[in-house]
Amino acid sequence: MANDMPEHGYWGPVTATIDWCEENYAWSYFIAEFWNTVSSLAIFLAGVYGWFMAVADDLEIRFQVSQLLVASVGIGSACFHCTLRHAEQQCDETPMVLAMLNWFHELFADTWESNRFLREAMPVLLVVYGLGFALLHNMYRWTTGFQIHFIVWGLANLARCIYVSREKGVDPATVLLKRAVISTALATFFWATDFHFCSHLQSGPMPNPEGHAWWHVLIAYAILQCTSFSIYRRCIQLGKPVAIVLKGPFGLWPTVRVV
């Protein structure tokens, strides 16, 4: 690692509300947090792969939009960590909110499918809520508030996944949900360590493990598992003959196919 990099690189002083534990501009004059930027690609790829699955299985537009939002989180995250500027931070965190709300819609839509008003109103209400929160967050820079908000919606969606895993025909996909929970727990550990114990990591005898970069990789894997679970469940609801194909070493890479 180069030690002669300037304190402020190409993008100037930090204006974001968070400066993660990775040493800034240690690897490139043009990239503030190199590993956090590169690892954001994992989230982008998870979204693109999920989008291809949703399209291939001919699912509703909400499933396709969900994955495009995940991909946009990956792009926004890369921009944020590359620059550490407030504008790019919003390009990361706003898609995070919208993706979480769309996942909520994806998981709960069947509960209001028979009610025309709710079926038409809920997507609009969720978008208005998401954009309203993003606007207020941009104005008041709620760092802790944003984190709590994201965690609450994430736990609500995860609880819904666990609840619907008991539905008829969904049982084969529960292995994906278990993987998602484990990966999310590990990701959260790395995120919390990086966020709360940075001074110890930087002054310790061991190299910085770049916990936030591991958060990106592990949460991307959890997203892929949750996406596959949601797609499988929806295919079952629609009466489509569907199978889960586990690829790669130890079958870690899932693909949901209509057969």
Architecture of domain 34-258: Up-down Bundle (1.20)
Give Cα separations from 236 to 60, 127, 230, 239, 240 (angstroms): 14, 27, 10, 5, 6
Distances in Å between the Cα of 34 and the Cα atoms of 6, 15, 203, 229 are 14, 17, 20, 32
Q: What pLDDT score does 6 carry?
A: 55
What's phi and psi for 242, nearest 5 deg? -135, 150
Q: How far apart are CA 143 and CA 130, in angstroms?
A: 16
Ligand-binding site membership of 215 (annotated)? no
Instruction: Judge whether 196 is annotated as a binding position.
Output: no
pLDDT along the chain (259 residues), means of 10: 61 96 95 98 98 95 96 98 97 96 94 89 95 93 93 94 93 95 97 94 87 98 97 95 92 92
Flag whether 33 is marked binding: yes
Establish whether 149 is an annotated binding residue: no
Q: Which residue has the tokens 């958060």?
A: 215
Is 22 labeled as ligand-binding? yes
- Which of 40, 47, 49, 48 minimizes the C-alpha distance to 247? 49
- Give the whole-angstrom CA distance, residue 12 versus residue 39: 22
As beta bridge partners, residue 242 has 258
Q: Is residue 86 a known part of a binding site?
A: no
Global pTM? 0.93
Domain ranges of the chain: 34-258
Give pLDDT, residue 7: 62
Whether the CB-CB separation of 16 and 84 falls below 8 Å is answered with: yes
Q: How many whole angstroms separate alpha carbon 141 and alpha carbon 129? A: 17
- Check the annotation: does 137 bind a ligand: no
CA angle 86, 133, 177 (to 5 degrees): 95
